Amino acid sequence: MSLHIYDTSTRTIREFVPVEAGRASIYLCGATVQAPPHIGHIRSGVNFDVLRRWLARSGYDVTFCRNVTDIDDKIIRVAAEESVPWFVVAERNQRAFTWAYDTLGCLPPTVEPRATGHVPEMITLMQRLIDLGHAYASGGDVYFNVQSYADRYGSLSNQKVENMRAAADTDDESCKRDPRDFALWKGEKPGEPTWPTPWGPGRPGWHLECSAMATKYLGPTFDIHGGGIDLIFPHHENEIAQSQAAGDGFAHYWMHNGMLKIGAEKMSKSLGNSLLIPEMVQKVRPVELRYYLAAPHYRSSIEYSEEALQEAAAAYQRIEGFVTRAAEVIHDVDADAPLPQAFVDALNDDLGTPQALAVVHEVVREGNVALSRGDKEAVARLLAETQNMLDVLGLDPRSPQWRGAGSDLAPVVDALVAVALEQRKAARARKDYEAADAIRDQLAAAGITVEDTPHGPRWELSH
């Protein structure tokens, strides 16, 4: 079966048929950088990284655009509280997000546009909407005219216009023709950054930014638009409205990942229960945290607990243990080995990572049996299958990302440990076991565990 994905706009599972054969385009709503990221933010990055990897493995040339919202009411508020310029807050937190994505093994986006770098495109889009009667300027602001699009507005969130709440995105609702009209552009306010437009200085509205950036880099019609389920309304609903009202086809598929919760509440900084990435990678290794976030189905909610996190880490270590032991026997892994059909079917069924990982664990169990009976041919096949599946999921423990824990010092560590192990080997050969044990203890103190195996000593960073 080919890839099928759940499309929020039709509320059905649909076969993925790209706009252009052989190519796949994805726009992911990235960070609004008013604060550093917690694991709820980065779950979206991990989920869509798996999608991107699977599309590439399936033969598509993928263009992946993940934006940065670097101007926003919240950013301005934080900057005022800290008495620093708005761009200091935005830059600091964008770097924190980039570090978090990199740390959890997310591939860099093809392009990562900032909202503030695309004001000309926003002005062009607003002018098109005004000319078509779908937007109007009022008091220095520009608003989308919801009633002009009332027959289709609400289709993504499955709402009727008459039942919708007011947009509540301006201090003076009297500027609007309808309280549900939403701001495309916000007029100048004291102390806020501004950009010039034909309707007066001001700054962009949140929804306008994404439409302008998505179509600039992916074209007026593209394949997949993604983001968290909390963005369906109003953000994604408004993106569709303003883009299609302007004449763009916009996204063919809408994919939304579920939320990460603590005590049945959505993760948010305002709740005071956010778990920041630097803190989380002190609890488990980054690759184990990625496993924890990738293992549930992307559309499901995750109820966070320390127990579940540790269980995920242990599950990954079982996979890693087989790969490590098998690699001592099989030195050349067939990177072109076919993936198990059950794994392919799982990911083609709306990116079914729970079922895909079940296949990984089953192959690992078979691999451990093959190792125990010394069947090198079977071990070679099962190791290749395991590593190729893990590569799709961004979880291969032998990839450069995870072997060196992302550190540029990995080659140096390799060389130093190799010297220490040779010294230990020599000590054991002359039956100086006290010296051999002392070397092992020194390595352990440095966070390096040494295990003696039939194939020689094996080392790894302590978990």
Tell me whether residue 270 is in a domain.
no
Q: Are residues 204 and 250 in the same domain?
A: yes
Q: 94-152 pLDDT, tens per residue?
A: 999 999 999 999 999 999 999 999 999 999 999 999 999 999 999 999 999 999 999 99
Q: Are residues 297 and 225 in the same domain?
A: no
Tell me the three state secondary structure of residue 87. Answer: helix
Q: Are residues 228 and 143 in the same domain?
A: yes
**Rounded mean pLDDT of the chain?**
91
| CATH number for position 13 | 3.40.50.620
In degrees rounded to 5, what are phi and psi of residue 301?
A: -85, 155
Cβ neighbours of residue 96 under 8 Å, at least 6 residues apart? 33, 36, 37, 277
Q: Are residues 392 and 434 in the same domain?
A: no
Q: 313-357 pLDDT, tens per residue?
A: 999 999 999 999 999 999 888 888 999 999 999 999 999 999 999
326 C-beta neighbours (distance < 10 Å), count:
23
Last residue of a domain, one of 226, 257, 288: 257
- CA–CA dist 377, 244 (Å, integer): 56
Q: 178-235 pLDDT, tens per residue?
A: 999 999 999 999 989 999 999 999 999 989 999 999 999 999 999 999 999 999 999 9
Rg, Å, the chain Cα set: 26
pTM above 0.85, yes or no: yes
Does position 439 have pLDDT exceeding 50, yes or no?
A: yes
Domain span at residue 442 reads 410-461
Q: Are residues 224 and 322 in the same domain?
A: no
Q: Are residues 158 and 39 in the same domain?
A: yes
Tell me whether residue 266 is in a domain.
no
Does position 455 have pLDDT exceeding 70, yes or no?
A: no
In the chain, the number of structural domains is 3
